[in-house]
Chain A
Amino acid sequence: MHYEIQYRPAHALAFAHLQPGESVRAEASAMVSMTPNVAVETQANTGGGLLKSLKRSMLGGESFFTNRFTAVGSPGHVSFAPDLCGDLLVHELTGTQLLIQGSSYVSAPDSVQIDTKFQGFKGFFSGESLFFLSATGYGPVLMNAFGAVETLDLNGELIVDTGHLVAFTSGIEYTVTKAGKGWIQSFLSGEGLVLRMRGQGRVYIQSRNPAEYGRAIGAELPPRRS
């Protein structure tokens, strides 16, 4: 299986090319189009148990259901698109581990295990939530970015806004801390919580923050009628 990405960076669309018998799993609602020889199977995303996957979908913005696309009899393709505008990126796993911000994950082949052994976090003040999926194994993992992607090879220390982080390789340690010196300052600064990352590895950063975009537009919208 390999990915081909078009319409970068503003409205990226990914084509997953499958050989006969190959399959790819994707977030529910990511599918745009597919060839008629592709069979779809919807599975509850119960990696790590039902409770964990419920928690994952509630905290991480990851969908509870996963679709599995398999090419039957002949080669085929499926295309995937994220909800917001922005780029798509592929990270190749070679027996290594990648930690992905819950809402950035799009799809991966069967040779990649998506797990949730990493603790999530929910901010009290800003409504920020942070939840990592762990991807291990072999093969290409597809992720979305809100805006453009910066690929950063970290060797040392870096502070990253939680809303701008897409993914990072294992070997980088992180702590969630307040952005300013005190809680009040962190709240007023609009930065809320940040990740202090340390170590050696790769970090993917997105140039826009979905939550901030939501707040900027949301503040102007009329209250939702219920």
Chain B
Amino acid sequence: MQFQIEHGPAFAWLRVQLGAGERITAEAGAMVRQSPTLEMDTRLNAPRSTGVFGKIWGFMVAMARKMFGGETPFLNDFHGATGGEVVLAPSLSGSVVHRRLGGGSTMFVQTGSYLASSGNVDMRIRWGGLRSFFGGEGLVLLECFGDGDLFMNSYGGVTEVPIDGAFVVDTGHIVAFEGSLDFKVRSIGGLKSFLFSGEGLVCEFQGRGTVFIQSRNMDSLVSWLSPMLGS
């Protein structure tokens, strides 16, 4: 598999050349164009190894996620006997970043930031704690693991921050972070700042690893737009 990330930083997309029998998994709705030689299979976002009950549970979690996280629970697999090309793009403006997973490393990806993955990358849904539901900034994460390429999209520019110690990020600005980091969702100060600071919830990281942050926040766009929508 070969890939190029083009048209960045504002309108980046991912162009992938698949060899015979190779496969790339993408977020539902991401396909821009594809070779007619490629086929598309749609499946529920559940680890490939899960059994029937796991799949039913996955479906329920997926539906809950669709309600709370707004993210579609389906994935598309592109593959073909002779290979071909597929172009994938996110819905918002911004960048695409690539990370290679392997050697037991994991990556927690904010659901809206997952674009695509190759090879044996698998994922399961992780909640950022009950607390993340209050305040409307649901931190719903995909834990990605296995061996292969992972592609994430950011709203705005993306900054890679190496952490050794502690670091605090607004939940709406998180793209992804390495599984080696401990994280905790909390409000930025006391009740007063939770209600009035406009910062909502933050994620506090501890340990050693990398966090990817985005320069824009979709929740902020939504709260800016909402009052403009009067009758």
Contact = CB atoms under 8 A, between A and B. Distances in A.
Contacts of A191: 28-29, 31, 40, 76
Most B-side CB within 10 Å, residue of A86, A164, A191, A226:
A191
B226 interface: yes
A86 B72 CA distance: 26
A217 B225 contact: yes
A215 B31 CA distance: 16
A148 B15 CA distance: 14
A221 B32 contact: no
Contact of B13 (A85, A158, A207, A219): A207
Given A185-B42, A225-B230, A9 B91 contact: no
Interface residues of B, number: 39
A208 B93 contact: yes
Nearest to A222: B226
Contact of A190 (B33, B34, B36, B74): B74
Given A159-B34, A217-B218, A189 B40 contact: yes
A212 B231 contact: no
A225 B12 CA distance: 35
Interface residues of A, number: 39
A62 B26 CA distance: 32
A13 B62 CA distance: 42
Nearest to A225: B231
Interface in A84-136: 85-86
Contact of B74 (A164, A189, A213, A219): A189
26 contacts: A9-B11, A10-B11, A86-B11, A147-B7, A148-B7, A148-B11, A150-B87, A160-B33, A164-B32, A164-B89, A180-B41, A180-B42, A185-B42, A188-B42, A189-B28, A190-B76, A207-B6, A207-B11, A207-B89, A209-B32, A212-B29, A212-B91, A216-B112, A217-B225, A221-B222, A225-B231
